[in-house]
A = this chain, B = another copy of it.
Amino acid sequence: MKAEPVKNEDEPKDKRLKGGDAQKLTMAEVAKYVGVSAMTVSRAFRQDASVSEETRKRIMEAVDALGYVLDLSAGSLSSRRSGFIAALVPSINNSNFSDTARGITDALENTGLQLLLGYTDYSAEKEEKLIEAMLRRRPEGIILTGGSHTDRARRMLDKAGIPVVETWELPEEPINHVVGFSNSEAMSLLVRTLAGQGYRKFGYIGGTTARDTRGSQRRSGFLKTVEELGLGPGRAISFGVPPITMEQGGQAIVSLLERWPDTEVVLCVSDLSAFGAIMECKRRGMSVPGDIAIAGFGDYEISSICHPSITTINVDCYGIGRQAAARLLDALQGSGEATGDEITLTGYRVVLRGSTDRGAS
């Protein structure tokens, strides 16, 4: 089925070939054209290799004239370097993670490394499958989100013998490098800050916890801290499969207020749900923060723009990506030396805004 028809090669058969040129141009042909060896052409493509400037120029002209494009899949086989870095994020449709992806991409620019991106949909099983799919491409390093993986995934990673960076969390048993922060402590800080402003009756909105480990860490940070502050048991609602949407945030706050009508402030697992919650409250004639204060997590663009603007935790999403990639690059440079701490803490900070402003109406 895949085989070329043996005869009549003249027949076009695929109109895409209008560009002509059977396109099976190889390095050897470029070499012949220039009158050098294939090896020299190969060298011309790398900056470190020693080729006379004049030869390189002639080769590059030929490359241009013939329209030759280097074939990295062949190259990586013999050099045993794929030039790939794999990265898995829960979802690319979440701007926090797409910022991280962009950070990785930017950090990889001009390194000759290419990003292989995958989406796990917050599922460890899907992550396992993706890890296998990625490893089949023999990436030189891999960046994961979170520290919760299946056993088989851990085994595969271990066996692959490549540097691994876990991000966005502080796993209890890191595989290798970590670039992240404690979601639990970040949420705890937010609770304490708001408690410091006088709030006493705390509610929490998040997704069902099974899949989203960061979400469940935020929740437990919330519950623990409310308890510690002597503010009674936290009032937590689980609503929907992560990632919880704006709309679900709106639905969740309705449930929460039905159950605990006197709640003063509601913390949400993300800004998106917080925004949905705020809009739903306004739709129902409640004033935010007048009747109820609401805060989010993640400092999405929307939170500084909307009205009221949303109190949140700012996380350096982009920086997480950049630093994760940088860690990987360090490991690949293979100074071989201890690279110092294997855990890189990334910053976060409380951003107080209108949605929890006690002075406001």
Seen from chain A, the residues whose Cβ lies within 8 Å of a Cβ on chain B are 1-2, 13-14, 16-19, 21-23, 48, 67, 69-74, 76-77, 81-82, 92-93, 95, 98-99, 101-102, 105, 114-117, 119, 132-133, 135-138, 155-156, 158-164, 176, 245-247, 250, 272, 275-276, 279, 282-283, 301-302, 304-307, 331, 334, 336
Q: Which residues of B contact A164 (CB under 8 A)?
A: 16
Provide a sorted-by-A list of 30 A–B residue pairs whose CB atoms are within 8 angstroms.
A13-B336, A14-B334, A16-B162, A16-B163, A19-B158, A19-B159, A22-B161, A67-B155, A67-B156, A69-B136, A69-B159, A71-B136, A73-B76, A74-B77, A77-B77, A92-B92, A92-B98, A93-B95, A93-B102, A95-B95, A98-B98, A115-B117, A245-B301, A246-B301, A250-B305, A275-B302, A275-B306, A276-B305, A279-B307, A306-B306
Q: Which residues of B contact A81 (CB under 8 A)?
A: 2
Q: A198 to chain B: closest CB distance in Å?
A: 26
CA A13 – CA B336 in complex, angstroms?
A: 6
Question: Which of B16, B74, B283, B331 sits near A307, CB closer than 8 Å?
Answer: B283
CA A284 – CA B162 in complex, angstroms?
A: 55
* Docked-complex contact A305 and B275, CB < 8 angstroms: yes
CA A279 – CA B306 in complex, angstroms?
A: 6
Beyond A14-B334, A95-B95, 6 extra complex contacts between A and B, CB < 8 Å: A23-B159, A67-B159, A69-B132, A116-B116, A247-B305, A283-B307
Q: Which residues of B contact A162 (CB under 8 A)?
A: 16
Q: Which residues of B contact A119 (CB under 8 A)?
A: 102, 105
* Docked-complex contact B69 and A156, CB < 8 angstroms: yes
The 4 nearest A-B residue pairs measured at CB: A19-B158, A23-B161, A246-B305, A72-B136
Q: A317 to chain B: closest CB distance in Å?
A: 10
* Docked-complex contact A133 and B114, CB < 8 angstroms: yes
Q: Which residues of B contact A331 (CB under 8 A)?
A: 16
CA A59 – CA B275 in complex, angstroms?
A: 53
* Docked-complex contact A17 and B161, CB < 8 angstroms: yes
CA A3 – CA B136 in complex, angstroms?
A: 23
Q: Which B residue sits closest to A162, measured CB to CB?
A: B16
Q: Which residues of B contact A101 (CB under 8 A)?
A: 92
Interface centre among A1, A48, A246, A306 (most CB of B within 10 A): A306
* Docked-complex contact B92 and A82, CB < 8 angstroms: no
* Docked-complex contact B16 and A176, CB < 8 angstroms: yes
Q: Which residues of B contact A67 (CB under 8 A)?
A: 155-156, 159
Q: A176 to chain B: closest CB distance in Å?
A: 6
CA A87 – CA B102 in complex, angstroms?
A: 15
Q: Which B residue sits closest to A283, measured CB to CB?
A: B307
CA A81 – CA B85 in complex, angstroms?
A: 21
* Docked-complex contact A16 and B82, CB < 8 angstroms: no
Q: Which B residue sits closest to A81, measured CB to CB?
A: B2
Q: A1 to chain B: closest CB distance in Å?
A: 8
